[in-house]
Structure 1
């Protein structure tokens, strides 16, 4: 099958003299995002040959810890969604969500009613 369309997602990272991120923006033309400021990004790439995940975790040095905790919690919840949607693994996704909810309570990023 021929590729019908290509799409780019770009990160622009401003580094200090020690190569620590000070500012970040991202763009995704197909989504209408252009140089939107952010304080964190996680990129996970599946290396099929090595059968392992390659990762880049970036965050600006001024990102508050409470925001980082929310970011981590929401990423775990998103992983559960992906597991269910892409893999059809509803039971595992439910377990992961329960773990994320417990962790979110412990980190004080949410309160269960």
Structure 2
């Protein structure tokens, strides 16, 4: 994981955020990526990771991380924010829709 994060930290199109509790323990992490889509003049920002410790859920940690991501995206000139979420993650879907995100398609993947 350290190698992955170091690789992302060296790329200016990525940003990482963490939230710690009062004791300094990590209770939340998020990562964003700036994309340059062919269908739009403005960049888009993708939330590529959002993780909150189970004991910290419902305490505003995810909201704080989303806010940090969205503020970064706007500062970078992004015209939209997007994310992928697994079909079975219904609690996450409820969280994202409460923040104004809407489902807009289906993601297809293929291992290479």
Same fold (TM over 0.5): no
Greater C-alpha Rg: 1
**Larger RCO (alpha carbons 8 Å, 6+ apart):** 2
TM-score by length of 2: 0.31
